[in-house]
Amino acid sequence: MNSCLYETLITHRRLRPKGHGLQYRFFSFYLDLDELGALAGKVPVMGLNRFNLYSFYDKDHLEPDSRPVREKVTAYIESQGVHAPIGKIMLLTYLRTLGHVFNPASFYFCFDKSGAPSVVVVEIGNTFGEVKPFLIKAGSYDGRRYQDRQTKYYYISPFTNLDDSLDFSLAVPDKGLCIRVDTSRDGEKYVMAAMTGERRELNLANLLWYVLRFPFETVAVISLIHWHAVLLYLKKTPFHLKENQPHLQKGVYRGWHKN
């Protein structure tokens, strides 16, 4: 099977207006979307659209309906004017853990029919239950990694501007993992975020080990986000209220609606 796990190190570093840093270890799933049914049957603690220790629900990704994720990904890519045939799609993400889900970012690495890297869809979530996809086109791939800059027009954090840029540097996962999504303003990066990791086999033994090492992983992720938001607030870092500048929020999925 193509699906696997990555044991990851997450690092964030803010340069201005107040310096701040954090790092923590977790693990991520790297799933072949064509293998989801087989994985749920092979690994007893995994479920597909049903409750389990780790569960993959189609409704947790992109628009919150029950269409298969692969169908939603290809529809989104075509809606952005890209009509090249898509072969394998690999998804780097967290799964529901005992029914709880939160994904700050999911990455859909798409390949053409020959197996060559094609496009990437980056799905970024916020703590308000919203997600926004960003399409990284094939022309951004230099043979080693995708590199692209896009204005976010999205409320990811109260401590960044809605019209800041996201700088993507995404290596196609292999034996190792190297993902960077930095935030910049006027061409100057001021928040650096990276996910690095090592490949692990996706099997029952490894998942049970990770239950012990990273219990309630998705709860821990969202708890850390809120904790560090408190620390930034105490440092008097300027922040923006979500209801301000709604015209700068574009292409955001909210419940059953898309703005």
Cα–Cα distance for residue pair 96/61, rounded to 1 Å: 11
Q: What is the mean pLDDT of residues 176-197?
A: 94
Cα–Cα distance for residue pair 170/109, rounded to 1 Å: 10
Angle 236-241-247 from CA coordinates, rounded to 5°: 140
**Confidence label for 258 from pLDDT (cuts 50, 70 and 90):** low
Residue 259 domain-assigned? Answer: no
- The answer to whether residue 102 scores a pLDDT higher than 80 is yes
| Residue range(s) defining the domain that contains residue 69 | 4-254
Residue 98 domain-assigned? Answer: yes
Residue 147 domain-assigned? Answer: yes
Residues of the chain with pLDDT > 90, as a percent, come to 69
**Confidence label for 54 from pLDDT (cuts 50, 70 and 90):** very high
Residue 160 domain-assigned? Answer: yes
Residue 118 domain-assigned? Answer: yes
Angle 150-253-20 from CA coordinates, rounded to 5°: 55
- The answer to whether residue 193 scores a pLDDT higher than 60 is yes
For 7, 170, 247, 250, 252, the CA distances from 29, given in Å and listed in that order, are 9, 16, 35, 29, 24
In the chain, the number of structural domains is: 1
- Structure-model confidence comparison of residues 158 and 204, the more confident one: 204
pTM assigned to the model: 0.94
Residue 154 domain-assigned? Answer: yes
Residue 56 domain-assigned? Answer: yes
- The answer to whether residue 11 scores a pLDDT higher than 70 is yes
- The answer to whether residue 13 scores a pLDDT higher than 60 is yes
Instruction: Output phi, psi for 199, to 5 deg.
Output: -70, 140
